Structure 1
Amino acid sequence: MFLGVDVGTGGTRAILVDRDGRVVVSEACEHQPIHSAEIGWAEQDPDDWWHAAKTAIGGVMRWARENGKAVESVGLTGQMHGCVMLDADGKVLRPALIWCDQRTQPQCDWLNETIGYERMIELTCNPALPNFTLTKLLWVREHQPEIFAKIAHVLCPKDYVRYKLTGEYAIDMQEASGTLLLDVTYRRWSTEVAAAAGIPMSWLPSLFEGPEVCGRILPEASSVTGLAAGTPVVAGAGDQGAGAVGMGILEPGSVSATIGTSGVVFAATAAPTKDAHGRLHTFCHAAPGIWHVMGVTNGAGLSFRYFRDTFTPQLGYDDLTALAAKVPAGSDGMLWVPYLFGERTPHLDPDARAAFIGVTASHTLGHFVRAVLEGVAFSLKDTFTLFEELAIPVEKIRLGGGGARGPLWRQIQADVYNHSVELLEAEEGGAFGAALLAGTGVNAWPSVQAACAATIRAAAVIPPTSAAAMQAAYPRYRRIYPALKGVFQA
């Protein structure tokens, strides 16, 4: 068995996967809600992730003991870009600023002035954005210098859990690509960026490829998780990198569209492909020797959750989608722009705001719900539009996350993308990809590509049925952001 652990935003999930790619058991533990002291702020307690990881891992390990199964190796994945700051003793100095925190635009502006916008993309393949780890460090330096002075180690969320499991300060290439401190082209830390930003290289964890073993379970971690001391732990990947492995997105032309809290369109590339305007992220792939590009919508599944929790907490998601299914494609002219936490692709605007547009007295609850589902799909289509502009091929699209589980949302995606979409037999997200990386690391498969070929199977293909209505609505959606830009700024 191979253990995959996903330290997400809402909770941590652990799964056991066998060599046939079957998920034999899964356990999850929710995290405490995101703390947001001010608009645009988002923080979590790293030790809450560790508590959830212990609970989830402990649950699957009880099943393993009861069924006489052994875990050969462990792979980690999780929410990307978070900034965990530790002192010299490995103690957490403050709550982590996580991926959706938007407070650091002034630090982005400082980086662009100090290093230069074009030079930053040349060095890291990405622009300075509030989501990235480096900008969060710079915010702490400016606003909490007493904490900054005590920093000895900087980790991302899943890598803090790894530290608690193994005692190692380590990170994988794919996750490190989202820190704004990695030379993505050459798969090494950028000494130029670190020096310009005033970040000591000693703070940065050791770099590994996704399937490389980078640590082993400590006796004290064994006692609280049930994992055997000495079990190998591989580097793994950030949630999008591991999710792409779990969906077999490894060759040019293969693309995934995943809707979780955020939404991501992810395409594998044989070489680092840079967007000169920084609208797409270019990262190292979790598989050695290849890269990927991706566009990100900050408020994808978050839009649906926000709507339900705020306006219809008494109804479940299935109840709401049943109402939306009665509404025609295009929501009778209503549109939703999902900028609840600003927006990354394609606008790079932390001040963008969400909105319903075109509301009339004849619209029903079902219209609002369908507009949310369509608006999220339109925001992901913006990335496909950029792929076309940059000649990035799209031959097959595989759906993942919550957007793949409901028949209405996956049909909406096929219609909005104007392309058939594939569903997998078992779409298990990042935890599954992390487990495949773990198996590759102990030679259960000779490569990540071989692991995917042995375990991932398509289950269905969904063609577009209402593409004309969605293609007519998309240009109207595209006009909303320019019309609203700056309206909500002081």
Structure 2
Amino acid sequence: MSYVLGLDLGTSSLKGLLFRQDGVLVGEASADYPLLTPQAGYSEQNPAEWRQAAHKVLKTLVSEHEEIKKELVGISFSGQMHSLVLLDESNEVIRPAILWNDVRTTKQCREIMETAGDRILNITKNVALEGFTLPKILWVQENEPENWSKVQHMMLPKDYLSFWLTGKYSMDYSDAAGTLLLDVENKCWSTEILSTFSIPQEILPTLYESSGEVGVITEALKKEFGFEQDVKIYAGGADNACAALASGIIQEGAGMVSIGTSGVFLSFEQSDKVNYNGKLHLFSHAVKDKVYSMGVTLAAGNSLSWYRDTFAPTLDFGELLKDVGTVKPGSDGLLFTPYIVGERTPHTDSQIRGSFIGMDTHHRLPHFGRSVLEGITFSLKDSQEMMETTAKRTFTKIVSVGGGAKNPDWLQMQADIFDSTIVTLTTEQGPGMGAAMLAAVGSGLFPDVNSCVGTFVSYDKEIVPIQENVAAYKKIYEIYKQVYGATADICHQLAEIR
């Protein structure tokens, strides 16, 4: 029996998932690492902590599953997107990695768009936002020239682990698409963008397909972990691309809604020719030559956590939401907008803030709880609506993962608001499983991703829209869409006071 390992490098921890070739999960291990916040708006991590976490996870899995010393055929990765890792000529880390959720680069984003905004959008299919990698590079150029002068290699977090395991510099197309440096159509680094912003192409890694073989584990690490055979290392993919793969989002009409701290509405796209004019992200998929579009709600699960912590801190989520099903769609005239930390899609607005609209004396905890769930889902529907109107997308199924898949009332709301059949996964392992699947395809255990998905991915619940609720939500959603315009100026004035 052959085994594959997926390493998922997240923002707070690294998780390793060990699968048999028949798609059965046989082992898992994780290790945490700290988040560094040297000042407000800064978010950093020390790449050495990632390497130590990966070492611990591998040691644990090998000790608990001796058979993989002979039968592990491949390792691949999923990882947090955009975060900037810089190495010097000795391959030492120059400074802590600047993470995807770091917001220090507003000035650099403005400079990018003023200098080459149309070309950036045309070449990369995205606009400059604080999360992307290019603004972080410009920040280092402008604020730490002594560090920039040392840079010999640039990579993203998961690629640092690949370098540690193989000694080779690599990046896959799905992660490269989030740097604002990739020519998406031609699948190469954009010489025009690199030249415009004085970035030497020599510092960029070799590009690979997500299931492409980067190399084999070094002899030193092979000996240390006790492997008796060469273990091949595959490039891997961005966390959202791997999550989509692990949810079976590999064909037209398939969508995914993922609700964690933030929320994502993601759609498979057959071609990169679709033009969202930067209002949605468009990234290369982990599936060869395919792309996916994605909208982001900054505070999805975070809105629910804030609501619980503020209004009912003694209740767990099950108790908090147990009566929301007794409230009719629309929460008896109560609307919530989940803009508590600003918003990304469709309103790129760091100063907008959330609101409850329509409160009166008869509203109680279940009304507020349901309105929070509805508001989060309406915000994600904003992305769905753009996909349907711009790309004429029709969703035959939407896979729900994360917190939104754990509550039956919320699942029904999703089906009704999205007006689509919602399905859940039998076992939800997320990006780490997608990474393992890439290793399985790359190693030849499967001829293609379709057959791999057929073995690894299975679906559980299927929730069908209730047409009466669909009709009600269509009216309520039209009202919801008016709230941003009605409150934006007020929120911006309040921001000046803050």
TM-score, structure 2 normalization: 0.90
Distance 2:386 2:284 in 1: 19
1:380 equivalent in structure 2: 380
- Match for residue 128 of structure 2? 128
Match of 2:453 in 1: 452
Which whole-Å deviations, capped at 9, do the CAs of 1:60-114 have from their partners, x for residues lacking one? 3332217887321011002111112222222223332222223322211111121
Task: Determine the structure 2 residue equivalent to 1:217.
Answer: 217
Over 3 Å counting, the alpha-carbon distance change for 1:16 and 1:378 in structure 2 is: same
1:7 offset after TM fit, Å?
A: 1.0
Return closer, same or farther for 1:131/1:267 CA change in 2, 3 Å cut-off. same
Distance 1:365 1:147 in 2: 53
The question of whether the paired residues in 2 share the 8 Å contact of 1:102 and 1:341 is answered with: no
Determine if contact 1:217/1:228 at 8 Å carries over to the other structure. Answer: no
Asked which structure has the greater CA Rg, the reply is: 2
Question: Partner of 2:14: helix, strand, or coil?
Answer: strand
**1:360-439 mapped onto 2 (5 Å cutoff):** 360-390=360-390, 391-439=392-440
Deviation at residue 195 of structure 1 after TM alignment:
1.0
Distance (whole Å) between structure 2 residues aligned to residue 213 and residue 236 of structure 1? 9
C-alpha distance in 1, partners of 2:29/2:329? 37
Provide Cα deviations, 1:333-378, integer angstroms capped at 9, x if missing partner: 3333333443222122333334444444544444444333222211
Q: How far apart are 1:34 and its partner, in Å?
A: 6.0
SS at match of 1:400: strand
Query: Aligned partners of 1:471 and 1:69: how far apart in 2?
Result: 57
Aligned to 2:11: 9
Q: Which residue of structure 2 lines up, in the alignment, with residue 304 of structure 1?
A: 304
Q: What does residue range 151-300 of structure 1 map to in structure 2 within 5 Å? A: 151-222=151-222, 230-300=230-300
Contact kept in structure 2, 1:54 and 1:224, CA below 8 Å: no
Counterparts of 1:166 and 1:318 in 2: how far apart (Å)?
45
1:20 counterpart = 2:35: no
> Where do 5+ consecutive residues of structure 2 fail to align?
none
Partner of 2:487: 484
Residue pair 2:70, 2:228 contacting (<8 A) in 1 also: no
Aligned partner of 2:473 in structure 1 is 470
Secondary structure of 2:17 counterpart:
strand
Q: Distance in 2 between matches of 1:425 and 1:9?
A: 25
The one-character-per-residue Cα deviations of 1:30-80 (angstroms, maximum 9, x if unpaired) are 332463721x44333333333333333333333221788732101100211
RMSD: 2.5
* Partner amino acid, structure 1, of 2:455: A
- What is the rounded CA distance, in whole Å, between the counterparts of 1:161 and 1:331 in structure 2? 47
Contact 1:54 1:225 in 2 (8 A): no
Task: State the alpha-carbon separation in 1 of the partners of residues 37 and 365 from structure 2.
Answer: 29
Say if 1:273 and 1:293, in contact at 8 Å, map to a contact too. no
How far residue 460 of structure 1 moved from its aligned partner, in angstroms, is: 2.5
Judging changes above 3 Å, is the alpha-carbon distance between structure 1 residues 103 and 217 closer, same or farther for their aligned structure 2 residues? same
Q: What letter matches 1:403 in structure 2?
A: G
Residues 78, 387 of structure 1: CA spacing in aligned structure 2 closer, same or farther, 3 A cutoff? same
- 2:316 maps to 316
State the Cα deviation string for residues 445-488 of structure 1 (Å, max 9, x = none). 11122211233232231012333443333223212222232533
Structure 1 length normalisation: TM-score? 0.91
CA contact (8 A) 2:268 2:293 kept: yes
What displacement does 1:221 show?
4.1
In 1, Cα distance between equivalents of 2:335 and 2:29 = 37
Is the contact made by 1:280 and 1:293 (CA closer than 8 Å) also made in structure 2? yes
CA distance in 2, matches of 1:320, 1:220: 52
Cα distance change, pair 34–395 in 1 and its aligned pair in 2 (3 A): farther
Partners of 2:396 and 2:420 within 8 A in 1: no
Letter in 1 for 2:410: W
Pairwise CA distance, 1:276: 4.7
Q: Quote the Cα distance in structure 2 between the aligned partners of 1:119 and 1:96.
A: 27
Give the distance between the partners of 1:70 and 1:109, measured in 2 at CA.
51
Residues 187 and 284 of structure 1 are in contact (CA less than 8 Å); yes or no, is this contact kept in structure 2?
no
Taking a change above 3 Å as real, the CA distance of residues 298 and 98 of structure 1, as seen in their structure-2 partners, is: farther
Q: Any gaps of 5 or more consecutive residues in structure 1?
A: none
Identify if the C-alpha distance between structure 1 residues 148 and 245 changes in structure 2 by more than 3 Å, giving closer, same or farther.
Answer: same
Tell me what 1:61 maps to: 62
**Counterpart-to-counterpart distance in 1, 2:423 and 2:52:** 36
| Cα displacement (A) at 1:256 | 1.5
Please give the alpha-carbon distance, in whole angstroms, between the structure 1 residues aligned to 2:472 and 2:314. Answer: 31
Counterparts in 2 of 1:272 and 1:354: CA distance versus 1, 3 Å: same
Question: Bigger CA drift: 250-259 or 332-341?
Answer: 332-341
CA distance in 1, matches of 2:446, 2:21: 9
Q: Are the aligned partners of 1:64 and 1:70 in contact in 2 as well (CA < 8 Å)?
A: no
Compute the displacement of 1:441 (Å): 0.7
> Following the alignment from structure 1 to structure 2, what is the Cα–Cα distance between the partners of residues 104 and 59?
38
Corresponding residue SS for 2:396: strand
| Bigger Cα displacement from structure 2, 360-369 vs 142-151 | 360-369
